[in-house]
C-alpha cells in the first residue's frame, strides 16, 4: 500500500448485521476521503477473565475459523466499494476496545456498531462503543440498528455547538463531512442556564428570556462566521433552543445523515455524549477533545 496515502479509516467487525452496516459505512467514508480501509476483528474468549487454554488446540482452531469467517463477511460486504488494494484486515486476540484502540493509532476515523453479537438485548450502547468513544484519539462514528429509525430520505449533517473554543475541532469535522456529502449543515446550540431556571420561580417575570435567547443566537452566529467564509458552498442553518443539549440534538437529527458532537476524553462519557449515543436516530460521530481544546 502506498506510503503517501492519507491515514486509514478503521472499522470494528464481528458477525452482527450492525457490524456489516458499519463496514459499508466506513467504506463510504474511506472512499469520500480517498483513504484506505482497515477491517479489524477482535478475537476474544467468550468468558471474561479466562484465557484460552494454550493446549486446547481444537478450541483454538474453532476460534481461528470463526474469525476468518467474520473477516470474510466484512470483506464481502465492502466488495466493489473501494479498490481491493486499499482494503486490509487485522485480527487480534484481546478485548475489542483495546484491539480497536491499538489498530486505530494512525487512523483518521473509527467506525463501530452500537452493539455487537454479544450485546445485551435492550441495551442501546454496547461496552465496545462506549469504551472506544471514551478512549479514542480520533473521531468515532457509532451506528445504531437501522430498525431504530426508518427514514425514507436523509440529508443534513447536524452538529452540536456549545459555544466554547474547542467547538472549532467539532465544526472542522462537521463541515468536512457536509462537503464530502454535498449536503447542508444544521448547527444546533441548546442552552439551559441552571441559575436562571432556578431563580425563575422567584423572579421569573424579571428574567429577560428574549435577551438571553438573543445572546445565545449571537454566540452561535459568531462561532459560525469564519466557517461560512471558509466553506461558502455549504448551506448552513442555525438552530438555537432553550433545551437540554442531548434532547435538542436528537430531535434535530431525526432525518440527518450524521450527527456530530464533541467529547472531552475521559473514562466516563459526559451527559450530552451519553444521551446522544444512546438515542441518536442516525449515525453519531464523536470528536475527541482535550481539556485545552486540542485533539
In contact, 186 and 215? CB cutoff 8 Å: no
Cα torsion 232, 283, 24, 38 to 10°: value is 90
Which residue ranges does the chain devote to CATH 3.40.50.12370?
157-287
**Sheet with 37-43, edge to edge strand ranges:** 87-93, 37-43, 9-12, 109-113, 140-143, 284-289, 258-264, 157-160, 185-190, 236-241
Task: Evaluate if residue 48 carries a pLDDT over 70.
Answer: no
Q: Using an 8 Å Cβ cutoff, are 39 and 74 in contact?
A: yes
Whose cell is 470528536? That residue is 287
pTM of this structure:
0.84
Say which range, 233-242, 246-255, 261-270, has the weakest mean pLDDT: 261-270
Q: Return the minimum-mean-pLDDT range out of 8-22, 25-39, 124-138, 164-178.
A: 124-138
The grid coordinates of residue 194 equal 441552571
Residue 116 confidence class, pLDDT cut points 50, 70, 90: low
Above 50 in pLDDT, residue 157? yes
- Tens of pLDDT, residues 207-249: 677 888 899 999 999 999 999 999 999 999 999 999 999 999 9
pLDDT in tens, 186-206: 999 998 754 455 555 555 566
Q: What are the b/e assignments for 50-88, b being 16+ CB within 10 Å?
A: eeeeeeeeeeeeebeeebeebbebbbebbeebbeeebbe
Q: First-to-last CA distance in the chain?
A: 27
- 16-25, 51-60, 87-96, 185-194 — which is least confidently predicted? 51-60
Question: What is the topology classification, in CATH, of domain 9-143?
Answer: Rossmann fold (3.40.50)
| Per-residue pLDDT at 51 | 47
What's the pLDDT score for residue 264? 79
Whether residue 184 has pLDDT greater than 70: yes
Predicted confidence at residue 143, as pLDDT, reads: 92
Per-residue pLDDT for 20 more than 80? yes
Look over the chain and give the mean of its residue pLDDT values, rounded to a whole number: 83
CATH 3.40.50.12370 is held by the domain 157-287: yes
Range list for CATH 3.40.50.620 in the chain: 9-143
Q: How confident is the model at residue 120 (pLDDT cuts 50, 70, 90)?
A: very low
Amino acid at each position: 500500500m502506498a506510503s503517501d496515502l492519507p491515514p486509514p479509516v478503521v472499522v470494528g467487525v464481528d458477525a452482527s448485521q450492525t457490524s456489516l452496516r458499519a463496514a459499508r459505512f466506513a467504506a463510504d467514508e474511506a472512499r469520500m476521503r480517498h483513504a484506505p480501509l482497515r477491517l479489524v476483528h477482535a478475537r476474544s474468549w467468550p468468558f471474561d477473565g479466562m484465557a484460552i487454554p494454550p493446549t486446547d488446540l481444537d478450541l483454538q482452531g474453532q476460534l481461528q475459523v470463526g474469525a476468518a469467517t467474520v473477516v470474510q463477511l466484512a470483506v464481502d460486504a465492502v466488495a466493489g466499494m473501494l479498490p481491493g488494494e486499499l482494503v486490509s484486515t487485522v485480527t487480534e486476540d484481546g478485548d475489542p476496545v483495546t484491539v480497536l484502540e491499538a489498530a486505530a493509532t494512525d487512523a483518521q476515523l473509527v467506525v463501530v456498531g452500537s452493539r455487537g453479537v454479544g450485546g445485551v438485548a435492550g441495551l442501546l450502547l454496547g461496552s465496545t462503543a462506549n469504551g472506544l468513544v471514551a478512549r479514542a484519539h480520533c473521531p468515532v462514528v457509532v451506528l445504531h440498528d437501522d430498525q431504530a429509525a426508518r427514514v425514507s430520505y436523509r440529508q443534513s449533517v447536524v452538529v452540536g455547538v456549545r459555544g466554547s473554543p474547542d467547538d472549532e475541532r467539532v465544526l472542522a469535522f462537521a463541515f468536512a463531512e457536509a462537503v464530502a456529502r454535498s449536503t447542508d449543515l444544521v448547527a444546533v446550540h441548546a442552552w439551559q442556564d441552571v441559575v436562571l431556571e432556578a431563580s425563575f420561580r422567584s423572579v421569573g417575570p424579571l428574567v429577560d428570556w428574549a435577551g438571553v435567547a438573543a445572546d445565545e443566537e449571537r454566540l452561535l452566529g459568531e462561532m459560525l462566521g469564519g466557517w461560512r467564509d471558509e466553506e461558502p458552498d455549504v448551506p448552513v442553518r442555525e438552530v438555537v433552543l432553550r433545551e437540554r443539549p442531548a434532547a435538542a440534538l436528537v430531535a434535530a437529527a431525526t432525518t440527518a445523515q450524521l450527527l456530530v458532537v464533541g467529547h472531552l476524553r475521559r473514562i466516563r462519557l459526559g451527559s450530552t455524549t451519553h444521551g446522544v449515543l444512546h438515542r441518536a436516530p442516525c449515525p453519531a460521530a464523536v470528536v475527541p477533545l482535550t481539556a485545552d481544546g486540542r485533539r
